[in-house]
Every structure is written in structure tokens, then in C-alpha cells.
Amino acid sequence: MQLEEKEVLIIGGGISGITVALELAQSGIPSTLIEREPSLGGLSASFCCKASESCNKCFACVVDKRISEIHQRQDISIMTQTEVMGVKGNGGKHRVSLKKGKERIDLKASAVVIAAGINPFDASQKVEYGYGRFKNVITAKDLDEMLRYHGALFRPSDGKLPKTITFFQCVGSRDESIGNLYCSQVCCAYALRLIKAIRYQYPEVKATFLYMDIQPAGASFQQFLTSCREDKGIRLIRSLPSKVYHSPLSDTLRVRFTDPERGEVVEDSFDLIVLSIGMVLSKEAKHLTELFGLNLTEDGFIASPPPQTGVFVTGACSGPKDIDRSILHAKSAAFLVQQHLRGRS
């Protein structure tokens, strides 16, 4: 089963790209991994640990481990701050021209893996929630970074600990008004995990979770959800808020939503609002689909081309995925790449 050394180009240094590269290296296939940003890890590298008294299975630590693992390997060449400029050829004989700073590099690749990832939904599009206008309306990504780098929860406006915090689910997902007719599949789990982690670190903080439907994730989710439901400091309310107002005097945010218990519209005040933003395909990934002549799915993610094209799509850019499933999909993509290369030799 000896394979000839053939270049595999992996576009995107997030967890999916990293996993593909590591898996291929395990099978003895060297690859080149390119990443637009100065460091590897992509979106998931900014996530914080969401454990409470025990691990809540968010997989964020796995990303950090994989990043340090890939840096230790010498059979994977990593090029950061590198972008794809053009593509020639097809059917597994691709010539890809890359740009790293001012440098131009041409690369021959027998297989190209696109793991370009996604962008978090731009929350300012939901004007009614006031992201970008009110300091204390933040996205879950902002919260993740706050907890990861500062290890503490605080209100952006005054640096104080918020006593009440609310999560708005489905921001940018399952939303006809912005045309995103898909579930981002990760937000329920990450928001609840964040709530749990915050409640563990700051038992005095009360959390509210405004949602449509709770989407399960993984084998231990039931147990986790039950523990959320039993927690007196967490209110789970099936209702999506309609609008956020800011009261400048008390610096709190008033939220208008339908209370399903009372069957009427109510208002409640919170110190901090977290928008659980979904996933959208990034502009750069869209550009790649044009370069490689790929199609988009109905939901606006990249559709997988047939394997004989030598182009493989994996990770969240092929449809919303959490870290766990991204790793799994990347492994299966690595297998397809291997099969493709074997078929050609």
C-alpha cells in the first residue's frame, strides 16, 4: 500500500484542516496546510473551556491540543498568512497559486481539501437587538474570548460583574427574515454550556435562555440538560425576543418578549445580553467556490463535488458543525483523499 508522495493542499487551518493534515500524516501522506490568518486554529481557537464542576464536552481543549500537535510535526508544511489566488487544472492535477505576503508560490496538488470554515453571523444585521449600538449586547464569540483571555465575566460598559445575563438563541439561524433557513446546530449546546460555566464560576449570576427549540448534542447531553433544568438560577423560556431597549440611567437593557406562561408580551431587564450567533459561509470561502467551480447548497454552504474532481470539502463550510463533528468529518474526508490518491497511483 505504498503511496507515491503527492502534495495534498489543505485550505484552511481551523480544526477541520488541522485534523485532515494530521490524519493524512498518520497515513504517511505529507500535506501543505495554508491559513489566511497569522496563526492556526480558526474560529474554534478563540473558544474558552466551558466546564462547570466537570467537563461539559465542548471540545474546545481538543482544538488547542491539535494545534500544538500539528506544530510538532515536520511532515506537514504550514503556511500562515497565505491565500489562494488562482487555480488551474482539474481532476486531481491542480496548480494552485498562493500568495504569502508579497511572495507568490505555485503549488502542484493531486488533491485539494477545502476546510475554509465559516464566519459567525454578523449580529448587527439583527438591528432590533442593538449589537454594535449597545455596549452590553455582545455575541457568544465575544463572551468566549472574554472568558478565554481574561478568565472573568464582566460588562463591557463598566467592567462590573453582570448580575443578570440573558442568551438570545437562533441569532442568524432558522430565520426567514434574513434568509437563513437552517439550524446552526451548535448554538443551543454552546450557550447552555456557557451558562453552566458562568453559573459555576459566579453562582450569584442569574441566567435566562430564550430559545425556540433545544437541539441536543452528544451522548451526555440529556444529563447536562437535566442539570440545567434543575438549576434554579437558570430560566429556560421558549420565546424569541422581539426588541432590546437601553435604559441609560441604570445602564440596563430591557428586553421585550412573549411570555409563554402568561400568553402576552412582557419586558424584563438584564445587565448583559449574549447573542447566540449562528454560522454563515465566509466571503473568502465563497471566493474559493468560484475559483474551484464549486456549487453552493440550498443553505449557502459549499456542496461536495464528486471525488474524482480531486477536490474535497470538509468542516463547517460544508454545513454547520460543532468541533466534535468537524473532527469526525475531517477524518472521513482524509479517508476520501487517501482513496483518491490510491486510485490514481
Partner 1 sequence: MSAFDPKIVAFCCDQSGYPAADMAGTLKLKLPKNVEIVRVPCAGRIETIYLLKALEKGADGVLVFACYEENCQFLRGNLRAKGRLSYAHRMLEKIGLEKERIEICHLATNSGAKWVETLRRKSEQLKKMGPNPGKL
Partner 2 sequence: MPRIGIFIDTLQGSIPASFQEKISDYVKKLPEIAFCLEEENLASSEALSRMGKRLEAGGLDGIVIIGGSPKLYETSFQKLRHPLPLNPYLFAVANIREQALWLMLEEEAALERAKTIISKTIRAVSHSKPIETQSLPLKPDVLILGGGITGISIAQELAKAGIHVFLVEKGTHLGGKALELHRFYNRPLEVRKWMDEKISVVKNNPQITLLTQTELKRLEGHLGRFQAKIQGPDRTETVLAVSAIVAATGYASQRETKGIYRHKRVIVFPEMEKLLSETKGPSLLWDGKKIEMVTYLLDGVNEDIKVDSINAVKQALILQEAFQCQVAILCKDVKVAADGMERLYRKAREKGVLFFKYEEPPKLSIVNGQIQVDVKDTAAIQKREQWPVSILSDFVVVSEAFVPTPETESLSGLLKIHLGNRGFLMEDNPQLLRVRSNRRGIFVAGACRFPQEVSESLIEARAVTQEVTALLSKGTYTYDLAVAEVDPKKCAVCYTCPRLCPHSAITVEKYGEKNVYITSGTGQETKWGAAKVDPASCYGCGICVAECPAKAITLQHLTDAQIYAQMGMME
User: Which residues sit at the interface with partner 1, rule CB under 8 A?
Assistant: 47-49, 51, 53-55, 57, 60-61, 64-65, 68, 148-152, 220
Piece of 88-96, 247-255, 286-294, 322-330 that binds partner 2 (CB under 8 A): 322-330
H or E element that contains 65: helix 60-72
Please answer whether residues 340 and 109 qualify as being in contact, where contact means their C-beta atoms are separated by less than 8 angstroms. Answer: no
Among 46, 61, 200, 284, binds partner 2 (CB under 8 A): 61
Give the residue with the Cβ less far from partner 1, 223 or 295: 223
To the nearest whole angstrom, how small is the minimum distance from the Cβ of residue 74 to partner 2?
A: 6
Among 258, 286, 291, 307, binds partner 2 (CB under 8 A): 258
Give the residue with the Cβ less far from partner 2, 62 or 146: 62
The DSSP output letter for 125 is G
Rounded Cα gap, residues 51 and 45, in angstroms: 16
Among 59, 129, 167, 209, binds partner 2 (CB under 8 A): 59
In sequence order, what are the residues at sequence separation of 6 or more whose Cβ sits closer than 8 angstroms to the Cβ of residue 243? 128, 129, 255, 256
Angle (CA) 159 279 109, round 5°: 120
Rounded Cα gap, residues 224 and 241, in angstroms: 25
Phi, psi of 127 (to 5 degrees): -55, -35
Residue 182 interacts with partner 2 (CB under 8 A): yes or no: yes
H or E element that contains 222: helix 221-230
**Using CB distances below 5 to 8 A depending on partner kind, what does residue 227 bind out of partner 1, partner 2, none?**
none
Give the residue with the Cβ less far from partner 2, 104 or 229: 229
Among 46, 62, 161, 286, binds partner 2 (CB under 8 A): 62
Piece of 160-168, 266-274, 282-290, 318-326 that binds partner 2 (CB under 8 A): 318-326
End-to-end CA distance of the chain: 10
Rounded Cα gap, residues 274 and 195, in angstroms: 10
**Using CB distances below 5 to 8 A depending on partner kind, what does residue 137 bind out of partner 2, partner 1, none?**
none
Taking the CB of residue 249, how many other CB atoms lie within 10 A of it?
A: 6
Among 171, 188, 197, 273, binds partner 2 (CB under 8 A): 188
Show contacts with partner 2 in window 216-235 (CB under 8 A): 216-223, 225
Bridge-partner residues for 111, per DSSP? 8
Please answer whether residues 228 and 234 qualify as being in contact, where contact means their C-beta atoms are separated by less than 8 angstroms. Answer: yes
Among 261, 267, 287, 308, binds partner 2 (CB under 8 A): 261
**Using CB distances below 5 to 8 A depending on partner kind, what does residue 64 bind out of partner 2, partner 1, none?**
partner 1
Give the residue with the Cβ less far from partner 2, 84 or 183: 183
**Using CB distances below 5 to 8 A depending on partner kind, what does residue 247 bind out of partner 1, partner 2, none?**
none
Among 136, 215, 276, 304, binds partner 2 (CB under 8 A): 215
Number of residues assigned to the chain: 345
Rounded Cα gap, residues 65 and 32, in angstroms: 19
**Using CB distances below 5 to 8 A depending on partner kind, what does residue 53 bind out of partner 1, partner 2, none?**
partner 1
The secondary structure of 81-119 as a DSSP string is SEEEEEEE--TT-EEEEEEETTEEEEEEESEEEE---EE
Interface positions with partner 2 (CB under 8 A)? 1, 23, 26-28, 55, 57-59, 61-62, 65, 68-69, 71-74, 174, 181-183, 185, 188, 213-223, 225, 238, 258, 260-264, 298-299, 319-320, 324, 327-329, 331-332, 334-336, 338-339, 342
